[in-house]
Amino acid sequence: TAFFHGDLEEEIYMDLPPGYYNQKPSNKVCKLKKALYGLKQSPRAWFGRFSSVMKSYGYKQGDSDHTMFYRRNCDKIAILIIYVDDM
């Protein structure tokens, strides 16, 4: 999923997945290094990373619609519009 590529802007910790430590109760947690599917920050983190990559390829972000990216080359134009339903 695309959400695994989003960079988190804050420290987020989660409980260990069930069965990870032989199902014994533990006071340990995991610190997330990347966004996960289902995390409320994931769509925004992914879109931030996506925007950075598009800009690095010379695309500009639309002023009236931040999900639109465009790139002009002489008399040609490429337009890309992104829709994420849980952003």
* Residue 14 is assigned to a structural domain of this protein: yes
* Residue 76 is assigned to a structural domain of this protein: yes
pTM of the model: 0.71
Q: How far apart are CA 87 and CA 61, in angstroms?
A: 17
pLDDT classification of 2: cutoffs 50, 70, 90: confident
* Residue 18 is assigned to a structural domain of this protein: yes
19-31: per-residue pLDDT in tens? 776 656 667 888 8
* Residue 87 is assigned to a structural domain of this protein: no
53-84: per-residue pLDDT in tens? 999 999 999 999 999 999 999 999 999 999 86
* Residue 86 is assigned to a structural domain of this protein: no
* Residue 27 is assigned to a structural domain of this protein: yes
Domain that holds residue 23: 2-81
* Better-predicted residue by pLDDT, 4 or 71: 71
Angstrom distances, CA of residue 31 to CA of 27, 44, 45, 53? 13, 19, 16, 25
* Residue 65 is assigned to a structural domain of this protein: yes
Look at the chain and report how many structural domains it folds into: 1
Q: Is 52 helix (H, G, I), strand (E, B) or coil?
A: helix
